[in-house]
Amino acid sequence: MKYVLLLSFCLLFLKGKAQNSDSTNQPDSIKKTVLATYYHRKFEGRRTTSGAKYRAKKLTAAHRTLPIGTMVTVTNPDNGKSVIVKVNDRGPYSKKLAIDLSERAAKQIGIYQKGIARVKLSYTVE
C-alpha cells in the first residue's frame, strides 16, 4: 500500500511539472472582438508615442494598453480580410474603441469608408 501511494504521489508530481513547463514555454494567444477606427489624415507626419512619425501608408496602430511593438492581427469578420499591424502609439481615447488603425491597414481589411467597425484582434502576450 505504501508503494502504491508513493508511486501515485510521484506520478502526480511529475504530471504537474510537465504542465508547468509547457505553460512557461508557450506564450498566451489572446483573441478579442472589438470596435476599431482609423487615423484621420491630419495626423500624417506627427510623432507617435514610440517616437516614430505617423505614416498613413505603413501598417501601424494605436492601442491603449498593449506594449509598444506588439504585432496584432486585425480581421474584419464581415469579409474575412486580415492585416498584421505594429502597435506604435497610444489611443484611441474613446472607451468604446479599442484600436486605431493606419489608413493603409483600414483599407486592406475594408473598413476605411465605415469610420467605425467591429474587428477581431489576435496577438501574443509573452
Nine cell digits for residue 39: 487615423
Q: How many CB atoms lie within 10 A of CB 99?
A: 24
- 78 — phi, psi (to 5°)? -70, -35
Summary mean pLDDT of the chain: 87
Q: How many residues appear in the chain?
A: 126
Cα 28 from Cα 20, distance rounded (Å): 14
**pTM for the full model?**
0.78
pLDDT score of 26: 65
- 85 — phi, psi (to 5°)? -120, 160
* pLDDT averages per 10-residue partition of the chain, 126 residues: 51 49 66 96 96 97 97 98 98 96 98 95 90
The topology under which CATH files domain 27-125 is: Barwin-like endoglucanases (2.40.40)
Q: For the segment 69-81, what is each residue's pLDDT rounded down to a tens digit?
A: 999 999 999 999 9
